[in-house]
Amino acid sequence: MAVITQSSSAQASVRERISLKKKPRPGETIIQSLLFVSGFISILTTIGIVLVLVSEALVFFASPEVSLIEFFTDTVWAPEAGRVGILPLVTSTVITSVIAMIIALPIGLSAAIFLSEYASPRARGYLKPILELLAGVPTIVYGFFAVTFMTPVLKSIFGADVVEFYNMASAGLVMGVMIVPIVASMSEDALSAVPRALREGSYGLGATRLETSLKIVVPAAVSGIAAALIVGISRAFGETMIVALAAGAGPNFTFNPFQAAETMTGHIARISSGDLSFDSLDYTSIFSIGLLLFIMTLTLNMISRWFVRRYREVY
């Protein structure tokens, strides 16, 4: 009994000397809050974007010439003339993006399958930089390429009277080349996330490598590939310089890819590269286009992230 009391009193004295309470460390707290503030800047950016787009777009929709119904149904975009139908800008955006994806999806996916299923690590070390350099080329250079190379090539194939000087096909095709690396790298991530056991099972049943790749691995990675496709479309929607240089310099409601038609981003770039008065209808009108573009790309990106999360969960 005596021994116990002695030891407990010794414990008490030790406890008096060593405090297990968290020591206040002001330096640590300051640094942590600074780091938090840095992270919070991204939230402020988003708030800023939404606020700016919505408030200026509201000014636009509040002006007497503009009605919301007309905005989504009219086929002429000429704010100064009182016609504000967004359709011609949207159709050309969609047409150039579809053309781009027709190029980018097959090429990007094939490249991803080859890199992930066929190439040796050594070969991959040589092949991947090609895609990375392609991804690093500034889009203004692609735009120059579209005007000075792709358009003349299209003219010589389809005839100079069929293909206009500015046209959606040229912009779309070059945009496709630009998007190949994005589709390839996202698809490759999805393909290499497919468990090895699936491949081994397939080989065990006597499938060739191509059969394994196309019938086992690709279907297993389909949600990741869908994510790549959607991100590709979203990139194509938001891409500016290629369409600003090659697609056309005026809104045009047409479904003919060989005709000139300005896209949403191309229009914003052209209108704002002039000396724009901040009180004009032109100025607020580009924010209504920007808001629609923002909603479109944000929705696509969210869907794509949902697809990515799905394959991460499955494997």
User: CB count, 10 Å around CB of 48?
Assistant: 11
* Least distance between other proteins and beta carbon 95 (Å): 17
119 part of the interface to other proteins, by CB under 8 A: yes
For the segment 183-222, give every residue that binds other proteins (CB under 8 A): 192-193, 195-196, 199-200, 203, 206, 208-211, 213-214
Rounded to whole angstroms, what are the CA distances from 196 to 124, 217, 220? 19, 9, 11
For the segment 222-261, give every residue that binds other proteins (CB under 8 A): 231, 234, 237-241, 244-245
C-beta of 33 vs 67, nearer to other proteins: 33
Report d(CA 34, CA 171) in Å as an integer: 44
For the segment 290-309, give every residue that binds other proteins (CB under 8 A): 290, 293-294, 297-298, 300-302, 305
Q: Tell me which of 34, 62, 69, 81 binds other proteins, using CB under 8 A.
A: 34
What is the DSSP annotation of 61-86?
A: HHSTT--HHHHHH-S-EEGGGTEE--
Report d(CA 251, CA 76) in Å as an integer: 8
Buried b vs exposed e over 162-191: b needs ≥16 C-beta within 10 Å?
Answer: ebbebbbbbbbbbbbbbbbbbbbbbbbbbb
64 part of the interface to other proteins, by CB under 8 A: no
CB-CB contact of 68 with 61 (8 Å)? yes
Q: Tell me which of 10, 68, 102, 130 binds other proteins, using CB under 8 A.
A: 130
C-beta of 75 vs 297, nearer to other proteins: 297
Q: Using the rule CB under 8 A, give the single segment among 65-73, 77-85, 129-137, 253-261 that binds other proteins.
A: 129-137
Report d(CA 95, CA 269) in Å as an integer: 19
For the segment 85-114, give every residue that binds other proteins (CB under 8 A): 106-108, 110-111, 113-114
Q: What is the DSSP letter of 279?
A: T
Q: Using the rule CB under 8 A, give the single segment among 10-18, 64-72, 74-82, 128-136 that binds other proteins.
A: 128-136
For the segment 135-154, give every residue that binds other proteins (CB under 8 A): 136-145, 147-149
Report d(CA 112, CA 181) in Å as an integer: 9
* Least distance between other proteins and beta carbon 66 (Å): 18
Closest CA to 219 of 207, 231, 237: 207
C-beta of 12 vs 157, nearer to other proteins: 157
Q: Tell me which of 2, 16, 19, 27 binds other proteins, using CB under 8 A.
A: 27
